[in-house]
A and B are shown apart, each in its own frame.
Chain A
Amino acid sequence: MTKLWDATSERLLRELAPQVLGAVARRFHDFAAAEDAVQEAMIAAFTQWPQEAIPDNPRSWLIQVAYRRMTDHVRSEIARRERETAVAAEAESFSPTPEIEADMDPDDTLILLFMCCHSALTVSSAIALTLRAVGGLTTAEIANAFLVPEATMAQRISRAKQTIKASGIPFRLPSPQERAERLPSVLHVLYLIFSEGYVSSVGTQLQRLDLAREAIRLTRNTKALLPDNPEVAGLLALMLLTDARRAARTGPDEELIPLDKQDRALWDPAEIRDGIELLTAALSKGSVGLYQLQAAIAAVHDEAGRLEDTDWPQILALYELLKRVSPSPMVTLNHAIAVAMVHGPAKGLELLRTLDSDPRVSGHYRLDAVRAHLFEKTGDRETAIKHYRMAAARTTSMPERNYLMTQAARLAAD
């Protein structure tokens, strides 16, 4: 029965990538080379399947192509080190038609995820490797998403694999305790892929890969593998509840539209519903964390049909909880906005002053941006203009700079 390539095929192919990689990596005991072989198999599939047809067993098709690449790789390694008889003996033991299905392990995707998001890697290399090895994306797609040349992205991925090799990270599922320790870096990488997607959804970058959607897909898969972890569900809920506002977030000229000016009719009710459902189930497990709380805050915003319906006291209470669970200057910054909404801008500004001595945030544009907003609310136009301009000078996001400059110009014209 031949199946033709259609809109769902691309996703099917990407979902198979980590499963195939797991099978090949375990058999050959060489993650780095296996990952390259699977990438080649993926590119072969992306080239051949749309033109011909999807094979009856796509998974074994991919595994066989990857196996052939691996065998070639091992043979050339042997040629290079022909005196090393141990390697030669190992190569002889390969069977060209392996018992493919026996090599599959449902935990492989999880093993790969923990490996690619390991804290030994820099964040940028963890992101790149995760998108390729777990996400099944090609190097060209990842390079395009981050606007760097393909050769540069290939090197970044290759170096990430060298780091994994040098750190001696084994290809096996971490123990439950290790998993608990390492899950925050996995979730952080997924979260960063999502927030990077913010950029590609702005305006002229339409042809770029949608990283926000990729992050949602990967987090959904992670949730399927760790169904009982409320923080994984919390992160997925946060992504959905944020992504729901996507269409309202930018205007016709690609300008940023802040939350309080968005047309709420453009928010996606299905995504909001899914996010709230996920969050409610997660919260009922009784182990509240960073992502569940941020999702809860996003949910309170999303539930307000009109701006004036926003339940600010509840948002304030959630920020107070978030500050206890996961204190950071960025949390304090957002907490100050909630304080200002409930107790007035002067109280918010008072809280912001506690951040001036914190080197992690004292020169950060977000501090100036929030300060500008709160000074505007107190009626101190001159100070607000000054801080909008300082924030505009410090941000590295072009849409954000345009927004902040526009705010300063608007106040200056009043």
Chain B
Amino acid sequence: MKYMLMMNTMKTGQGVLAWPEKDLHAHIAFMIGLNKELQERGELVSAEGLSFPDQAKLVRAGNDGRPITDGVFPESKEFLAGFWIIDVDNPERAYAIAARISAAPGAGGRPLNMPVELRPVMSGPPQEMV
């Protein structure tokens, strides 16, 4: 069964840019190691990191159908920093991976305990319908 794990981080405060080099390295090594492990276990479908939120644009179609772009939505406290799509044998395994991501090392090497949103991907086979 496939799941999408969405890693959310705070938009402001404890920004990754302010971390000391050592902590940054530990964090990056953790993410690379995790992806390698998921790949080796035959569970990784894809993983992407996203650009910082100041690069985000909100797009809506105007009345003429042309795009109207706006800066990032000011009301949101968290933003999507990256996501994984995994293919695992049971939901428990997906929760375990999400918890690992949540506890990725942050400033001072302390676990970030950031929220990770987990959603099943619509990939199941349909049954005969009555």
Contact of B89 with A259 in the complex, beta carbons under 8 Å:
no
A314 at the binding interface (Cβ < 8 Å): no
Within 8 A of B (CB), among A273-316: none
B64 at the binding interface (Cβ < 8 Å): no
A125 at the binding interface (Cβ < 8 Å): yes
Q: Which residues of the other chain, A, contact B43 by a CB distance below 8 angstroms?
A: 152, 156
Q: What is the distance, in angstroms, from B98's C-beta to the closest C-beta of chain A?
A: 17
A260 at the binding interface (Cβ < 8 Å): yes
Q: What is the distance, in angstroms, from B44's C-beta to the closest C-beta of chain A?
A: 5
Distance A154 CA – B40 CA, assembled complex (angstroms):
9
Q: What is the distance, in angstroms, from A132's C-beta to the closest C-beta of chain B?
A: 13
Interface hit among B7-15, B52-60, B100-108, B118-126 = B118-126
Q: Which residues of the other chain, A, contact B18 by a CB distance below 8 angstroms?
A: none
Contact of B130 with A259 in the complex, beta carbons under 8 Å:
yes
| Binding site secondary structure of chain B | loop
Contact of A397 with B44 in the complex, beta carbons under 8 Å:
no
In-complex Cβ contact of A400 among B46, B89, B129 (8 A): B129
Q: What is the distance, in angstroms, from A51's C-beta to the closest C-beta of chain B?
A: 32
B39 at the binding interface (Cβ < 8 Å): yes
Q: Which residues of the other chain, B, contact A373 by a CB distance below 8 angstroms?
A: 130
Distance A149 CA – B43 CA, assembled complex (angstroms):
10
Q: What is the distance, in angstroms, from B83's C-beta to the closest C-beta of chain A?
A: 15
Distance A373 CA – B130 CA, assembled complex (angstroms):
7
Known contacts A123-B89, A148-B45, A396-B121: does B126 contact A256 (CB below 8 Å)? yes
* Cβ contacts B1-24/A at 8 Å (1 or 0 each): 100000000000000000000000
Q: Which residues of the other chain, A, contact B123 by a CB distance below 8 angstroms?
A: 147, 199, 396-397
Within 8 A of A (CB), among B83-130: 87, 89, 120-130
Distance A125 CA – B43 CA, assembled complex (angstroms):
11
In-complex Cβ contact of B87 among A152, A256, A366, A400 (8 A): A152
Contact of B42 with A401 in the complex, beta carbons under 8 Å:
no
* Residue in B43, B121, B128 with the greatest tally of chain A CB atoms within 10 Å: B128
Contact of A149 with B45 in the complex, beta carbons under 8 Å:
yes
User: Quick one: closest A residue to B122, CB to CB?
Assistant: A398
Contact of A403 with B124 in the complex, beta carbons under 8 Å:
no
B41 at the binding interface (Cβ < 8 Å): yes
Q: Which residues of the other chain, B, contact A153 by a CB distance below 8 angstroms?
A: 42
User: Quick one: closest B residue to A249, CB to CB?
Assistant: B128
User: Quick one: closest B residue to A147, CB to CB?
Assistant: B123
Distance A149 CA – B126 CA, assembled complex (angstroms):
23
A122 at the binding interface (Cβ < 8 Å): yes
Contact of B122 with A369 in the complex, beta carbons under 8 Å:
no
For chain B, the bracket of interface size reads: 20 to 34
Known contacts A123-B89, A152-B42, A152-B87: does B124 contact A396 (CB below 8 Å)? yes
Contact of A195 with B125 in the complex, beta carbons under 8 Å:
yes
Contact of A199 with B45 in the complex, beta carbons under 8 Å:
no
Q: Which residues of the other chain, B, contact A199 by a CB distance below 8 angstroms?
A: 123-126
Distance A34 CA – B7 CA, assembled complex (angstroms):
41
A337 at the binding interface (Cβ < 8 Å): yes
Contact of B42 with A369 in the complex, beta carbons under 8 Å:
no
Distance A256 CA – B128 CA, assembled complex (angstroms):
9
User: Quick one: closest A residue to B44, CB to CB?
Assistant: A152
Distance A149 CA – B121 CA, assembled complex (angstroms):
16
User: Quick one: closest B residue to A373, CB to CB?
Assistant: B130
Contact of B122 with A366 in the complex, beta carbons under 8 Å:
no
Contact of A198 with B87 in the complex, beta carbons under 8 Å:
no
Distance A128 CA – B43 CA, assembled complex (angstroms):
13
Q: Which residues of the other chain, A, contact B121 by a CB distance below 8 angstroms?
A: 396
Contact of A196 with B45 in the complex, beta carbons under 8 Å:
no
In-complex Cβ contact of A155 among B39, B89, B124, B125 (8 A): B39
A354 at the binding interface (Cβ < 8 Å): no
In-complex Cβ contact of B45 among A152, A154, A399 (8 A): A152
Q: What is the distance, in angstroms, from A348's C-beta to the closest C-beta of chain B?
A: 10
Q: What is the distance, in angstroms, from B45's C-beta to the closest C-beta of chain A?
A: 5
Q: Which residues of the other chain, B, contact A158 by a CB distance below 8 angstroms?
A: 42
A53 at the binding interface (Cβ < 8 Å): no
User: Quick one: closest B residue to A395, CB to CB?
Assistant: B124
Contact of A125 with B42 in the complex, beta carbons under 8 Å:
yes
Distance A324 CA – B89 CA, assembled complex (angstroms):
29
Within 8 A of B (CB), among A113-131: 122-125, 128
Jot down 14 A-B pairs with beta carbons below 8 A, ordered by A. Answer: A125-B42, A149-B44, A149-B45, A149-B46, A151-B39, A155-B42, A156-B43, A158-B42, A242-B128, A258-B130, A259-B128, A395-B126, A400-B127, A400-B129
Since A147-B45, A159-B42 are in contact, a sample of 19 more A-B pairs with Cβ atoms closer than 8 Å, ordered by chain A residue number, is A125-B42, A149-B46, A151-B39, A152-B87, A153-B42, A197-B125, A198-B126, A202-B126, A256-B129, A259-B129, A373-B130, A395-B126, A396-B120, A396-B124, A397-B124, A397-B126, A398-B122, A400-B126, A400-B127
User: What 6 A-B pairs come out closest when comparing CB atoms?
Assistant: A156-B42, A396-B124, A258-B129, A155-B42, A397-B126, A398-B122
